[in-house]
Amino acid sequence: MSDDQVRALFCADADAITLMENDDLHAAILMRAAKAVGIPADIAFRKTDGAGDIQRFLRLELPRHTAYFKWGRLLVGPSGAPRSQCQHINGGLFHVIRHKQASKELIKLLGFPVPEGQIFERNAEDAAVEWSRNFGRPVCVKPALGSMGTHVFPELTEEADIRHAFRSPSAQCKQVLVEESAPGSAVRFFFVRPHIVGLRIDLPANVDGDGQSTIAALIDRKNTEKRLRTGHAPTIVDDDLLTHLRRQGLGLDHVPLPGRRIFLRSVSNGYKGGDSFTTWSDVHPSYVDQITAMCNAAHDLVITAVDTKIVDPTTPATATNYRILEINNNPGLVPFHFPWKGESQDVAGAMIRMLLAHAA
């Protein structure tokens, strides 16, 4: 959907368009859903420290509660409360979820499968390499605290690659998580207590060959289409992309055969140029049942997106054919409402219905 079509969707709502123009389409979507059922919604402002920049938050005035929302983060407090007096919708569980290893331990405690892994201090690179060698299977290296697919390196087997990957998050974070690189399709489930309300399959950034164009030209062509469609980040040619191509024996000047799909990264993330496909029919309902049970078993977990890897999403779930990678405190709405392919899924409407029930 183009920007002009999105503006038309917002029915010339000046506040929603302002949020969109200030890089928070998530908030604009939630504002539209709130106003559709008569919830007062406006923009609250806060000056950031130092530079004097202004941050914009969506503010919802619910019966007996006030909520603030920005980039997927939802805070709730008493009616009329300022943002500083509100807490995250997931309550005390927020602090567990934000730490990847702690959230994995919670999931494991609840009886659901997670990748085997270990936390290492930033100065423990040799120990991390030794653990990976002893593990004997491909590993994923990521920051213990992180988001948006930043500094995440899956499918590593070579020591040099593991060392390089370890140094990326360790330069930013005190701790690094090294874990099993789970095989299969990346499937994200959007949970609004007590149901899964959205489901999508994510692919890494990719291009499809036509037998005539180089990978560089195919990237440019697809980026042009992405820029014309709302909510889809372009694929940036960087060292990680070039390294991923080299591992496949490819370069930007390679001309793929017609119909051959070339994956440009190993991480399936929209912020890194990945594609989202909303679907229900391509995922066996037993996975929905499993993720619903896990989320409802975690008390205080109200809104989250659950990232999984599933060996074959069309076959029933077992204890060994899928892994829950992590649960997210601040899930984005845009890929569910504006997917690369598939029908729009109204996760924002489900959030509003939950907030109204919460405030009743």
Q: Name the fold adopted by 91-113+183-204+274-344.
A: D-amino Acid Aminotransferase; Chain A, domain 1 (3.30.470)
Q: What is the pLDDT of residue 94?
A: 95
Handedness of CA 320, 325, 328, 331 (dihedral sign): negative
The whole model's pTM is what? 0.93
What is residue 138's predicted lDDT score, i.e. its pLDDT? 96
Report the candidate in 101, 278, 85 with the shortest Cα–Cα distance to residue 189: 278
Q: What is the pLDDT of residue 216?
A: 98
pLDDT of residue 228: 85
- Please report the pLDDT score of residue 215 as a whole number: 98
Residue-level pLDDT at 6 = 73
| pLDDT tens digit sequence for 108-121 | 999 999 999 999 99
Res 238: pLDDT: 94
- Per-residue pLDDT, 352: 98
* Domain-wise residue ranges, the chain: 3-88, 91-113+183-204+274-344, 116-181, 208-257
Write down the pLDDT at residue 305. 98
Q: Which pLDDT belongs to residue 51? A: 58
Whose tokens are 């919604």? That residue is: 41
Give the CATH class of 116-181.
Answer: alpha beta
Q: Which stretches in the chain have pLDDT values below 70?
A: 1-4, 47-52, 147-149, 359-360
